[in-house]
Structure 1
């Protein structure tokens, strides 16, 4: 089974921008890592992977209040950073899901 490189850079722009509290970016990253772990565990259908992506996106949605409480928010840079990270993962694993579909449950 294919694995994601251990040195894969998640959420680069969010980690590089002090506007985003690192502890919250770490929480967000964990939700993405859960999807990677799911994909790496065994063969899954596109529908099963999309289900996990939906769960991930809803969990990220739930972090918004924590970002607000820390004078931050999931705005343009965050949206793009999340989308770029997820898209890179999908491409790495040759998963044929468009990025807009992959994060369709977002409200950020």
Structure 2
């Protein structure tokens, strides 16, 4: 399903990680795909409130938890820079889809990174 939100479609997710050689593009690509799937879910499910949005973002956060091993296998890790970049991406999604009151920490509450 193509992203219909123009702001999201034009956004380059995880750009800071792509610019840093410490983070392998092939693994960052997988993280970007998680975020794009999250956007697709938000557009298809149209969450009515924050609780429904958090259910979607928590599922995507769990996918990032699983990606941590892929980062480590590639000689990298989800460390401070990556945590901030990923957290900002979730915040961007919430804002782009009309959830200005979303709690940045709650968006990624089940994180293990």
TM (normalized to structure 1)?
Answer: 0.91
Structure-2 residue corresponding to 1:107: 112
Residue correspondences, number: 107
TM (normalized to structure 2)?
Answer: 0.87
Q: Which moved more, 1:42-51 or 1:69-78?
A: 42-51
- The one of 25, 28, 33 equivalent to 1:25 is 28
CA distance in 2, matches of 1:48, 1:73: 30
Deviation at 1:4, TM superposition (A): 4.1
User: 1:17-71, CA deviations, whole angstroms, 9 ceiling, x for partnerless residues?
Assistant: 0101101001011111111111122531322221111111111001111111111
In structure 2, stretches of 5+ residues that fail to align are none
The answer on whether the counterparts of 2:42 and 2:56 sit within 8 Å (CA) in structure 1 is no
4+ runs of 1 displaced by more than 6 Å?
Answer: none
Matches within 5 A, 1:49-60: 49-60=53-64
The answer on whether the counterparts of 1:83 and 1:103 sit within 8 Å (CA) in structure 2 is yes
In structure 1, stretches of 5+ residues that fail to align are none
